[in-house]
């Protein structure tokens, strides 16, 4: 019998699925994803949902193939079907955002492809309460806005995080009898998330008192509501103001910058490379106009102010 909190988290996450549907658990072999797989298989049997596992081999570490095979065997032993291993190449060149970001992008692309090939309705990810708090702290350190500070969503497209509001210790208690893989990167302090996990968050809990982790997650939930409302307002306003700089300039800044960002994306800007600095430079064409020339944007797109309109065009 699995922990009640974990079972309830999974039941809620899978509530819209039907008997016979397939979901895949993103399995690293670590304790969190292993616990998720174990619990998902058990809940899946009750609800007649097929639960498989997808293991992404990033081919970064020397024995990654062996680690993947070990994780696959554990998944098979737990009753997952199908159990899939997918090799990816992690490109860490210019514009990749570093190894962590590049690995995440490669992993997401693989998940999407495999989900389509196996008609999986969802990919389940093993993020926990602490992962969410760490994400919020990292966003604060970068000076991020409401969207980044709102952390991860429990449901995001095909991705679902059944344990996102559950303490990591509770999650890992389900696999104390199993040998989980300890990723060496999780103890490598060159990664900011590792420093937050092993040093920053424990210090905050010690100095400010227990409950900091939960408080950070509550703040993320509140900011997500605010960000969703602002995004909805921006979507409404963009249909009214179009590319008219006078109408755009009259909008509150939080909505105006969202409208500008969406205009840039709609006109061909590369969404993953469009930064806040780009948006603010376009905003200056609207609110601080003094004859600036065209701006170069990601995706080989230019924008300039022409006859009181923001004009986007290909380079």
Asked whether residue 107 falls in the same domain as residue 252, the answer is no
Asked whether residue 111 falls in the same domain as residue 32, the answer is yes
Asked whether residue 162 falls in the same domain as residue 261, the answer is no
Span 156-215, pLDDT tens digits:
999 999 999 999 999 999 999 988 887 777 788 888 999 999 999 999 999 998 899 999
Asked if 27 contacts 37 with a C-beta cutoff of 8 angstroms, the reply is yes
Instruction: Look at strands 155-156 and 159-160 and give their pairing.
Output: antiparallel
CB atoms within 10 A of CB 195: 17
Take residue 50 and report the two structure tokens written for it: 């097929």
Question: Is the predicted pLDDT of residue 89 greater than 80, yes or no?
Answer: no
Asked whether residue 158 falls in the same domain as residue 268, the answer is no
For position 276, which CATH number holds?
Answer: 3.30.465
Q: Residue 194 falls within a domain, yes or no?
A: no
Q: How far is Cα 134 from Cα 197, in angstroms, rounded to an integer?
A: 7
Take residue 46 and report the two structure tokens written for it: 């009750």
Kindly give, in sequence order, each residue whose CB lies less than 8 Å from that of residue 147, ignoring residues fewer than 6 positions away: 227, 231
Asked whether residue 169 falls in the same domain as residue 281, the answer is no
Asked whether residue 177 falls in the same domain as residue 264, the answer is no
Q: How far is Cα 267 from Cα 280, in angstroms, rounded to an integer?
A: 17
Q: Band the pLDDT of 154: cuts 50, 70, 90.
A: very high
Q: Residue 123 falls within a domain, yes or no?
A: yes
Q: What's the confidence (pLDDT) of residue 92?
A: 63
Residue 90 or residue 115, greater confidence: 115
Q: Residue 208 falls within a domain, yes or no?
A: no
Question: Is the predicted pLDDT of residue 93 greater than 60, yes or no?
Answer: no
Question: Is the predicted pLDDT of residue 98 greater than 90, yes or no?
Answer: no
Asked whether residue 87 falls in the same domain as residue 19, the answer is yes
Q: How far is Cα 214 from Cα 222, in angstroms, rounded to an integer?
A: 13
Q: Residue 200 falls within a domain, yes or no?
A: no
Take residue 114 and report the two structure tokens written for it: 């495999």
Asked whether residue 92 falls in the same domain as residue 21, the answer is yes
Would you report the helix, strand and coil content of the chain in percent, each value rounded to 5?
Answer: 55, 15, 35
What are the CA-CA distances from residue 138 to residues 153, 168, 192, 194 (Å)? Answer: 16, 18, 8, 11
Span 10-37, pLDDT tens digits:
999 999 999 999 999 999 999 999 999 9
Asked whether residue 112 falls in the same domain as residue 255, the answer is no
Q: Band the pLDDT of 96: cuts 50, 70, 90.
A: very low
Q: Residue 121 falls within a domain, yes or no?
A: yes
Kindly give, in sequence order, each residue whose CB lies less than 8 Å from that of residue 262, ignoring residues fewer than 6 positions away: 234, 235, 238
Q: Residue 87 falls within a domain, yes or no?
A: yes
For position 28, which CATH number holds?
Answer: 3.40.50.620
Asked whether residue 80 falls in the same domain as residue 161, the answer is yes
Asked whether residue 162 falls in the same domain as residue 306, the answer is no
CB atoms within 10 A of CB 268: 14
Number of domains in the chain: 2
Q: What's the confidence (pLDDT) of residue 63?
A: 76
Residue 293 region, left (φ>0) first, then alpha (ψ -120 to 50), else beta?
beta
**Range of 25's domain?**
2-135+151-187
Asked whether residue 156 falls in the same domain as residue 268, the answer is no
Average pLDDT on 63-86 reads 92
Q: Residue 301 falls within a domain, yes or no?
A: yes
Give CA torsion, residues 150, 154, 160, 163, to 10 deg: 110
Q: Residue 199 falls within a domain, yes or no?
A: no
């Amino acid at each position: 019998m699995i922990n009640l909190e974990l079972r309830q988290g999974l039941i809620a996450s899978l509530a819209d699925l039907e008997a016979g549907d397939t979901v895949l658990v993103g399995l690293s072999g670590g304790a969190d994803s292993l616990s998720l797989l174990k619990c998902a298989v058990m809940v899946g049997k009750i609800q007649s949902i097929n639960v498989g596992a997808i293991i992404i081999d990033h081919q970064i570490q020397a024995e990654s193939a062996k680690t993947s095979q070990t994780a696959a065997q554990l998944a098979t032993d737990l009753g997952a079907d199908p159990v899939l291993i997918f090799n990816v190449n992690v490109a860490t060149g210019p514009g990749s955002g570093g190894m962590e970001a590049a690995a995440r992008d490669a992993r997401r692309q693989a998940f999407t492809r495999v989900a389509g090939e196996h008609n999986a309705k969802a990919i389940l990810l093993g993020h926990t309460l602490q992962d969410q708090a760490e994400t919020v702290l990292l966003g604060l350190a970068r000076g991020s806005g409401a969207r980044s500070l709102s952390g991860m969503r429990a449901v995001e497209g095909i991705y679902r995080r059944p344990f996102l509001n559950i303490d990591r210790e509770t999650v890992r208690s389900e696999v104390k009898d199993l040998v989980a893989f300890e990723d060496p990167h999780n103890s490598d302090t060159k990664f900011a998330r590792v420093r937050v996990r092993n040093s920053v968050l424990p210090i905050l809990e010690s100095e400010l008192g227990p409950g900091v982790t939960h408080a950070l997650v509550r703040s993320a939930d509140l900011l997500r509501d605010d960000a969703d409302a602002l995004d909805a307002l921006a979507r409404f306003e963009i249909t009214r103001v179009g590319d008219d700089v006078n109408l755009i300039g009259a909008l509150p800044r939080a909505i105006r910058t969202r409208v500008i960002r969406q205009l840039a994306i709609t006109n061909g800007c590369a969404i993953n490379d469009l930064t806040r600095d780009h948006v603010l430079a376009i905003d200056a064409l609207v609110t601080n106009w003094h004859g600036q020339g065209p701006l170069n944007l990601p995706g080989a797109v230019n924008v300039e102010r022409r006859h009181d309109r923001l004009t986007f065009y290909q380079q």
